[in-house]
Each structure stands twice: as C-alpha cells, then as structure tokens.
Amino acid sequence: MPQFADLLAQAVQQKKTPVLVGLDPRYAQLPAGLQTAAGPTDWQGQAAAYAKFCRGVIDVVAPLVPAVKPQAAFFEQLGPPGLAALAEVIRDARNAGLLVVLDGKRGDIGSTAAAYADAYLGAKGQSPWGADALTVNPYLGDDSLTPFVDTAVARDAGIFVLVKTSNPGGKTFQDLLCPERPLYQHVAQLVEQLGETSLAQCGYHAIGAVVGATYPEQLAELRAAMRRSWFLVPGFGAQGGTAAGVAPAFDSRGLGAIVNNSRGIIFAHARLEYAQSFGDARWQQAVEAATITMIEALRADTPAGQL
C-alpha cells in the first residue's frame, strides 16, 4: 500500500487542487431544513442532523477535492450520539473516495499517546476510527510524538503536528524566544527530523505540520526550513487567509500543502455573496459554488495552478 504522503500527493494531483474541506457542524448554523432536534439537549437529534448535513457536504465535494477534515470537538460536544455520527461521517467520506484528516489535536505521553494513535490512525480495518491522518499537539515533548509517528509509519497513515497555528493567541507560546529562536522553529525542526524515516516517492514524508494561512511570512519561512513536510494550512477565508498568502506553502509542482476551509464552504448558504442566489433551500449548491471559487483562487494565485 502506498505511504500516506504519496496517497495525499496522488489525491491532490487527481483532483487538481489542494483544497481541504473542514467538516465543522454547528447546529444553529445548519440550513433550516436540517434543524430537526427537539431542543438544546436533544443530542440524538442534533447528531443525526450533523451526520445528514456532513453526508450532504461530502456528496457535493467528493468529485472536487482530495480530502475532508472532520473536527472532532463538534461531534464530541453531543456525547455518545455525536461520536456515533462522527464514525458515520468518516465512513461516508472514505466510501466517497476521500482521504480523511481527523482534527483532534491529540497529545499525551507514553501508553496514552500510543492508545490515541491506535484508536485513530489507519484505514482498512487497522483502527476503529479509520482516519488517514490526525492532528497532534506537540507541547508535551518528543516522547509524546513518537507513538503517533510510529503508528502512522506502520499503518501508512499520517499526522499533522501543530507548529504555527492560525489563531491570534498562538503567538503566546509559539513565538517565545528559546533562547534565540522562536519556539515554533524548534518544533518545526523536530517535525522534520521525525519524518526522515518515512520519506515517500513524492518527496514528502508522513509527518506533516499545521501552519496557519494568517501568518504568510512565517509560512514562507517554515517552508524553507521544512522541505519534506506536508503542510496543513488552516485559516483560509473566514480567518482572513488568502490564496496569495498561502502560495509559499507549495513547491513548484503545486504539492506540499493542503489548504483548509470550513465555515466558508459548508455554511456558504448564509454568506452574503451566496445567500440571495441559493439560501437554505439550495445549500448544497452554495457549498459547490464556494468550493469551486476557492479552487479557482488557488489555481490563479498559487503554484496549485500547475496541478
């Protein structure tokens, strides 16, 4: 079976885009026709709505993009019914031919980290959740990352380690000088080292980095320092990231990065530029239009146009 880095490269090349669609369901923002729960504590009803909504998004974007990124928190918020819905969404995405990056930001040490890795990483019956990749928090140190790395490599899966996140508060710790370089540069160096044993034919390895679109200068700096790491780039659209701003994340082939857009795509029916044309009744068409708009923007303003 191909390594994760090659699977991702093949999927990006096949779809001719690096767009990653985030599945972040929020009940109050769902199209009105899907808001069927009996009340705020009808977690079963909300979970069913999440599963139906995400399945509707998947049906639209599967022909257009290489991967989706379910955000575990919004499903966990609903308790056991939400977890069942998450499992259903992952299964639906895989059945549609999409790669699945589970956004769980897990991080722990020793046997606990190994348990998280065993739970989430590995498709085709290798793990109960069946994700192709998982986001991982590195701030417990290198021994907290090793179990995720080992499991990812053994199962042809991948991880994306938080290096320079898109949120404004990320600088609180990530930009601290330690002693002469910011902390995120130390994390970047470790990620690149950890990936050396999983280098794939595409030129990248299975140990990737989360690097936000909201810091274009640092994005360019980190690409220069992390030549062989796939980047997961959040922050496009709603958080202010632009196509031109994420251009440094790519190599000349248009590979090396996947760019996430969650709210800007899945809730496009409520955005000003789509609400009048589509609205709640045609929300899936709004999802399609927003996805195509992002694909075209990345083709125009980044090396993704070479795909």
DSSP letter at 167 equals: S
Buried residues in 118-137 as b, exposed as e (16+ CB within 10 A): bbbbbbeeebebbbbbbbbb
Is 80 exceeded by the pLDDT of residue 106? yes
Q: What is the pLDDT of residue 239?
A: 80
- For the chain, helix, strand, coil in percent to 5 are 50, 15, 30
Is 80 exceeded by the pLDDT of residue 57? yes
> What's the pLDDT tens digit per position in 131-171?
999 999 999 999 999 999 999 999 999 999 999 888 888 88
218 within 8 A of 241, measured Cβ to Cβ: no
CATH for the stretch 4-301: 3.20.20.70
Is 90 exceeded by the pLDDT of residue 228? yes
3-state secondary structure of 91: helix
Say if strands 257-261 and 67-70 run parallel, antiparallel, or are unpaired: unpaired
> What's the pLDDT tens digit per position in 22-48?
999 999 999 999 998 888 899 999 999
Is 80 exceeded by the pLDDT of residue 238? no
What's the mean pLDDT in 270-295?
95
- The residues spanned by each domain of the chain are 4-301
User: What residue ranges in the chain does DSSP mark as E strands?
Assistant: 19-23, 67-70, 99-106, 133-136, 158-164, 205-211, 229-233, 257-261
Which residues are known to be catalytic?
A: 105
Give the pLDDT band (50/70/90) at residue 124: confident
Q: What is the pLDDT of residue 158?
A: 97
**CA 61/CA 66 separation, integer angstroms:** 9
